[in-house]
Amino acid sequence: MQNFVLHLPTKILFGKDTIANIGPETAAFGKKVLLVYGSGSIKQNTIYDQVTDSLASAGLTVIEHPGVKSNPVLSHVREGIKLAKEHGVEAVVAVGGGSVIDCAKAICAGAMVDHDVWLFFKGKKGVKAKLPLTCVLTLAAAGSEMNGGMVITNEETKHKFGTGNQLLKPEVSILDPTATFTVPANYTAYGAVDVIAHILEFYFTTTDPATPVQDRFMEGLVINTIESCRQVLAQPDDYQARADLMWCSTLALNGLTAAGLGLVGFPMHMIEHSLSALYDVPHGAGLSVVMPAWMSWRAAAAPAKFAQFARRVFNVNQRDDSKAAQQGITHLTNWFRDVGSPVTLTELAIPESAIPKIAANALALAKIWRLKEYDPEIIASILSTCS
């Protein structure tokens, strides 16, 4: 295990009937707030009313900024920054999943500077300050409610970049599992895929050979994510299953899973970001295509960790590491199919002829994230196995 610093400043309010706390919690940071949310589903399931009633009861002035897409775009972030500056906003409230929270984070950081917010994502500028951020989570997926990461798509350049900073962590996040009862089956599944991808990025890219505590922790999270997702798809209003899935999502990417692992990377996300940047596919759907392909490519050279994963998570009984690794990948791929998440580019309506363009697009993020071993040829060879 490597040396590490773990700082988790986000206050979590978890459970039923917690959304009503968003007003008092936000009032601690200011009286004028920007309310960021998506296309309007929260107005159909009472969450919008719960949030706005609480904000009003706390005496807050609210400026609304709806319309966040499932792959949030730079133009909408810029509009939010303009609103925040024009109205002298003192805090931001995000109501939604990771896309909404990521958009809100970018607004919080961009409102504090004179330069364009995209410079943060290009690695040209670092975040030095942000507006306070409070959140009401409505989708178990990204883990953005308790981490310092954000991902935005630049529609003009067709690049989807992610960046992170400790200052971007929300001050308060409210996690009421009942807020996810109405999430459609496909997005519930895509969210669970994203959770697993976050865990496996750390699990498979650490070079430390002695991480038994973290390994068991991550394996347990994968098992619980698979089990709770299955139960939720069978019974969408199962509170316990929704709660388990939501908490797995948060734990997967709040810093605990990566603690002590040393240098890690996000190659699967790097490749998927190009799929959703160029074709606007749901992030989790893109990951369920990329993940088995990347795992097979990496396992061919170093099967031991993949074999461990297969034996512990899917109870694979195979002594040969290479065979065990491939069986584990097959089990995971079959689970993606079972929950209705795609596993081929064809299912995403992406032609095989587009692979070189996708690989070239992904190279820009590979350079920013310092994933030096990935050139267009390697990325294309990975994608060619999932066409």
Classify strands 91-96 and 133-137 as parallel, antiparallel or unpaired. parallel
The correct answer on CATH 3.40.640.10 for the domain covering 184-384 is: no
Amino acid at 35: L
Structural domain 11-179, CATH architecture: 3-Layer(aba) Sandwich (3.40)
Residue with tokens 């951020």: 133
User: What pLDDT does residue 41 have?
Assistant: 87
User: What pLDDT does residue 160 have?
Assistant: 96
User: What pLDDT does residue 245 have?
Assistant: 98
Per-residue b/e over 14-40, b at no fewer than 16 CB within 10 Å?
Answer: eeeebbebbbebbbebbeebbbbbbee
Count of all residues that appear for the chain in the document = 387
Cβ-based neighbours of 189, under 8 Å, separated by 6 or more: 229, 233, 284, 339, 340, 341
Widest distance between CA atoms in the chain: 64
Cα 249-253-257 angle, rounded to 5 deg:
110
Q: Structural domain boundaries of the chain?
A: 11-179, 184-384
User: What pLDDT does residue 298 have?
Assistant: 97
- Report the C-alpha gap between 352 and 354 in whole angstroms: 5
User: What pLDDT does residue 39 have?
Assistant: 85
User: What pLDDT does residue 40 have?
Assistant: 79
84 with 133: CB under 8 angstroms?
A: no
- Report the C-alpha gap between 387 and 382 in whole angstroms: 10
Cβ-based neighbours of 57, under 8 Å, separated by 6 or more: 23
Please state, as a whole number, how many other Cβ atoms lie within 10 Å of the Cβ of residue 249: 31
278 with 354: CB under 8 angstroms?
A: yes
264 with 202: CB under 8 angstroms?
A: yes
Low pLDDT (below 70) residues in the chain = none
Both tokens assigned to 81: 């920054």
Between the alpha carbon of residue 280 and those of residues 133, 159, 191, the distances in Å are: 27, 11, 16
